[in-house]
Amino acid sequence: MFKKNKFLNSLLLTRRNISVFFFSLLTSFLFKNKTKAQQKQTGTNTMFQISGRVSGPTPVEVRRNYLKSTHGQIHFRTSSPNKITSKRPLICLHMSPNSGRVYERFIGFMGTDRICLAPDTPGFGESDPPPSAPLIEDYASEFIKFIDNLNFESVDLLGYHTGSETCIEMGHQRPDLINRIAIISAPIFTEKERQEHREQFKHVEPEADGSFAVDKWVSAIKWRMEGWTLDHKAYQFNDALRNPDISWWGHRAAFEYEMEQKMRDNKKAVLVLNPEDDLVEYTKRAIGLSPLINIYDLPGWNHGFLDLEPEETASILRNHFDEEA
């Protein structure tokens, strides 16, 4: 699923990006083949585990890298199988405020049969921010450039909350590039709800007493799946505290986006995963918006399921992404 080298012939920086990315893949393949041979000799079946990575071990290695972007660099996590397959690459977009860390364990399972990338949205995680507050349309445009710079011809998308909106918008902007879409929750709000959310998630100045962080923590741990520990949440929580002057930009963009109408007009096959998180009731509004949209309820699942149920999640998504049109 890769393009011919028209971008490489015209953009030197893109060429360097491609070289770095695929050198990283080649190094990973060699390392994993060596590990596999060692496991065969010793009779072990060791999972990849990095010290300090609370999300848990994975069957394939999850690496990190950077790619040049419009406003600096985009940081991303990536995984890939031991052998190149014909499966389309999967791009995973996170919620706000957070980072691609939420997909860290999941792509270590999903990446057993396809290339997976989980970039940090510009202004979040380790990705450089734009100079001013963007809209969902801007995020979508930037990620399309990210995909083009990797020379992918066709990709599937997975989005989470704010990332769900970005995925839907990418399908509108580049239908030739985007194949199938899956989203975790559908942020469909009335105008009144949008206004309430704008007030709830507006910019808050950090205070010396730490209340800024405490309020975020208390709010975050309300919605977590049974078994997803406080250590799990703490491992991701620092991403919610970074860049406090702009960390509200993702929510701002989300509450400006016409998600309901965009889903009605959508021309892509969309699977909507509906865990019992803070958007469970809003997500039900996606039912019947389009014959291309299917809702998959996940009773008992909540934030953290990507860490706790990566194999089951990967199985559900493979059935959707690999289904023939």
Residue 102 phi/psi, 5° resolution? -60, -25
> pLDDT value at position 34?
41
Quick one: pLDDT band at residue 203, thresholds 50, 70, 90? confident
Six token digits for residue 285: 């509004």
d(CA 118, CA 203): 26
Contact criterion met (CB below 8 Å) for 40 and 85: no
d(CA 109, CA 169): 27
pTM: 0.86
> pLDDT value at position 5?
41
> Taking each helix axis from N to C terminus, what angle separates 12-42 and 136-149, rounded to the nearest 10 degrees?
70
| Domains of the chain, each with CATH number or no CATH | 6-321 (3.40.50.1820)
Closest-CA residue to 165 (of 244, 254, 54, 47): 254
Digit-coded pLDDT (tens) for 264-311? 999 999 999 999 999 999 999 999 999 999 999 999 999 999 999 999
d(CA 6, CA 18): 12
Given a cut of 80, is residue 317 above it in pLDDT?
Answer: yes
Q: What is the DSSP letter of 92?
A: E
> Taking each helix axis from N to C terminus, what angle separates 211-221 and 230-241, rounded to the nearest 10 degrees?
130
